[in-house]
Amino acid sequence: DFIPQLAAAALARVQGGKLDYVQLGQAAIDALNQRAIQIWLNDKEDAQQLAALGWDGALHPEQGADFIALVDSNLGYNKVDSVLERSISYEVAWPDGNDQPAQATLTVTYHHPVAVDDHE
């Protein structure tokens, strides 16, 4: 598995003492500011501080605006992820008349293009 190997290598590097902690801290702050890393905490007071910094992952749609968010998170990255083909389709049907709401359909498709032999 990729994640345990990555974690072991990162821990070995930290324990080896050959790490620029200022550079590591700045990289972590940059990743948080770019929302590449997001944090959730159970403690409400701490969570409010994260929210104030924009590090809590919250989405803030404009008042009255149409809004949709799709999150695709592969926390256990593996070889399949690099070849997976993803497509997204978003369609809105507008009804006749103003008394009916629009109907929206979001379709997310994952396709694995690599053929595998049948194994029993």
| pTM exceeding the 0.85 threshold for the entire prediction | no
Q: What was the pLDDT predicted at 120?
A: 57
The closest alpha carbon to 70, from 47, 104, 112, 30, belongs to 104
Q: What was the pLDDT predicted at 90?
A: 94
Domain residue spans in the chain? 2-53
- From first to last of the 120 residues of the chain, give the pLDDT tens digit: 677 888 898 888 888 877 888 998 999 999 999 988 888 899 999 999 999 999 998 988 888 888 888 888 777 767 788 888 999 999 999 888 778 888 999 999 999 988 777 665
Count, residues in the chain: 120
Q: Look at residue 52 and give its three-state secondary structure.
A: helix
Number of Cβ within a 10 Å radius of residue 55:
19
Q: What was the pLDDT predicted at 118?
A: 63
